[in-house]
Amino acid sequence: MDGGRDRELRCIVHLDMDAFFASVEALDRPELRGRPVIVGGTGPRGVVAAASYEARRHGVHSAMPMTRARRLCPGAVVLPPRAARYREVSRAVFEIFRSFTPLVEPVSIDEAFLDLTGTEALHGPPAAAAAEIRRRVRGETGLTVSAGVAPNKLLAKIASDLGKPDGLVVVPPGREQEFLDPLPVGRIWGVGEVTRRVLGRMGVRTVRDLRALDREGLVRRFGAAGHRLYLRARGRDASPVAPPGPPKSVGREETFPRDLRGEAALRPVLLRLAGEVGRRLRRRGLAGRTVVLKVRFGDFSTVTRSVTLPAPVDDDGAVFHAGLELLGRVPPERPVRLLGLTVTGFGPEGAWRQLSLFGGPGAAASREALNRALDRLRERYGGDVVVPGSLLPGGEEGPGG
């Protein structure tokens, strides 16, 4: 069996916001429009999270070290990420997506697949529906989104990439191979830089070249990946658009501009991480029993430590104290490059009671009310509007003060 064509003619749309973080910054600060904008870590170890198309023309791209990005584009405006603002805009964009179909599969905060199969009576032909989605995103958020429409996810993703920025590319049923064959082989999923170089030595430059190779030879050379390359060169992809189920974990991590050493230096970071994890848990109506601490040392070696609590928690303080206990199990003398905190082990929604580390039921209820109030403040004014007293000079241990 070679995978065959999809069993039914599907209509898949891939939607990808254009330079999302940088575009949000230019939306909020109109004076940045038309200028090269780079969003990412501003310290010596910072990396590029997003770059406007003006910056990309200088060779800047995501995941690039910020020091190199600054050399390539010395006139760029470099800004730190504003995660809360990006989530706010993302929620508005995804609400538009879900108004067209419940079959929405997020790929990231700014990218998703939609299955519009069978929605023609509601939204018209696929190309018209995609154009309407793009129009609404622009009208309701002020941002642009590129779209690809095709019979499957593979082709829709390639199409939207080709349409960037602010484009719409449609791959009509029956013309899949005509669309694929002229493209560079690197456009195919699974063909990264290493695979592309290997294929290049085999004389493969385009998808047409790849399609000329037999399946057995590809499998001998690349193993199971060779079978996938054989199918993808023929535009075959039967994977469904899968809306996400409940998350299995909620976490946050931070890489430091300089290595930190010792509990005193790491405690404020742990407090920030616990606060962010707690807010994310409460936002999703989740609580978990297992807290996991991740520590990456200056030499890039990484260890994890975990503890399972008597009952599920979603409280910043409970997460912090568990993390602090785990930090005590890590060699204190070693310099630390990265710290991460994750909560997992979720039970059925509503089938948990908050573990109180601060007293009886009344104290737990007061703590929940405080958390809700703090969450509202932070959602409105940013994560740093309320700072735990222990982060202030002379502050005592524990968050929330």
10 Å CB burial of residue 70 (0-12, 13-18, 19+) is middle
Q: How many domains does the chain have?
A: 3
Predicted local distance difference test score (pLDDT) of residue 247: 85
Burial 32-46 (b: 16+ CB within 10 A, else e): beeebbbbbbeeeeb
In a domain? residue 400: no
pLDDT at 376: 60
Any domain includes 393: no
Based on the domain organization, do 137 and 286 belong to the same domain?
Answer: no
Per annotation, catalytic residue among 25, 54, 105, 111 = 111
- 263 and 129 share a domain? no
16 is in an annotated binding site: yes
pLDDT of residue 358: 47
61: left (phi over 0), alpha (psi -120 to 50) or beta: beta
Q: What is the pLDDT of residue 388?
A: 53
**308 and 368 both lie in a single domain:** yes
The residues near 5 (Cβ < 8 Å, ≥ 6 apart) are 236
Asked if 73 and 60 touch (Cβ cutoff 8 Å), the reply is yes
Looking at 190, 218, 241, which one is the last position of a domain?
241
CATH number at residue 131: 3.30.70.270
Q: What is the DSSP string of 206-229?
A: BHHHHHTS-HHHHHHHHTHHHHHH
Distances (CA, A) of 57 to 26, 69, 76, 88: 17, 12, 11, 28
Convert 358-384 to b/e letters by CB count within 10 Å (16 or more is b).
eeeeeebeebeeebeebbeebeeeebe
40 in the same domain as 92: yes
CATH number of residue 364's parent domain: 3.30.1490.100
Helix axes 316-327, 263-284, angle to 10 degrees: 140
Number of Cα atoms under 13 Å in the Cβ half of residue 230: 19
Unique residue bearing structure tokens 């469904």: 240
Q: From residue 130, how far is each of 41, 98, 140, 273, 319 by CA, in Å? A: 34, 13, 15, 39, 43
Does residue 390 lie in a domain region?
Answer: no
> Structure tokens of 317?
């303080």
289 in Cβ contact with 307 (< 8 Å): no
- What pLDDT was estimated at residue 352? 45
DSSP H or E stretch at residue 128: helix 126-141
Give the DSSP H/E element, type plus range, for residue 297. Answer: strand 288-297
- The reply to whether 307 falls in a domain is yes
Residue 378's domain comprises: 249-349+360-384
Q: Residue 222 has what pLDDT?
A: 92
333 is catalytic: no
Contacts of 190 (CB under 8 A, 6+ apart): 225, 228, 229, 232
Whether residues 149 and 186 fall in one domain? no
Distance (Å, whole) CA 195 – CA 226: 10
Residues 295 and 333 in one domain: yes
* Residue 399 domain flag: no
Instruction: Check whether 299 is labelled as a binding-site residue.
Output: no
Query: Does a structural domain hold residue 122?
Result: yes
Whether 216 and 312 share a structural domain: no
First to last CA, the chain: 63
Q: Are residues 23 and 130 in the same domain?
A: yes
Domain end, chosen from 126, 143, 169, is at 169
- Four-point Cα dihedral 59, 60, 61, 63, nearest 10: 130
Q: For tokens 């064509």, what's the residue?
A: 5
Instruction: For residues 13 and 160, state if they share a domain.
Output: yes
Distance CA 16, CA 158 (A): 11
Residue 169, pLDDT score: 98
Residues 119 and 32 in one domain: yes
Q: If 0-12 CB within 10 Å is exposed, 13-18 middle and 19+ buried, where does residue 91 land?
A: exposed
pLDDT (0 to 100) of residue 355: 46
Domain presence at residue 45: yes
CATH code of residue 236: 1.10.150.20
User: Per-residue confidence of the chain (401 residues) as pLDDT tens digits?
Assistant: 344 444 468 999 999 999 999 999 999 999 999 999 999 998 878 899 999 999 999 999 999 999 999 999 999 999 999 999 999 999 999 999 999 999 999 999 999 999 999 999 999 999 999 999 999 999 999 999 999 999 999 999 999 999 999 999 999 999 999 999 999 999 998 899 999 999 999 999 999 999 999 999 999 999 999 999 999 999 999 999 999 888 889 999 998 889 999 999 999 999 999 999 999 999 888 999 999 999 999 998 999 999 999 999 999 999 999 999 999 999 989 999 999 999 999 975 444 444 444 455 555 555 566 666 665 655 555 555 455 554 444 444 444 44
Residue 277 placed within a domain: yes
pLDDT, residue 190, reads: 85
CA distance 76 to 60: 10
For residue 114, give every residue at least 6 positions away whose Cβ sits within 8 Å of its Cβ, in sequence order, or none.
12, 13, 14, 15, 97, 100, 101, 103, 104, 105, 133, 241
Separation CA 60–CA 263 (nearest Å) = 37
Same structural domain, 121 and 26: yes
Task: Scan for tokens 């932070």, then name that residue.
Answer: 378
Q: Are residues 51 and 105 in the same domain?
A: yes
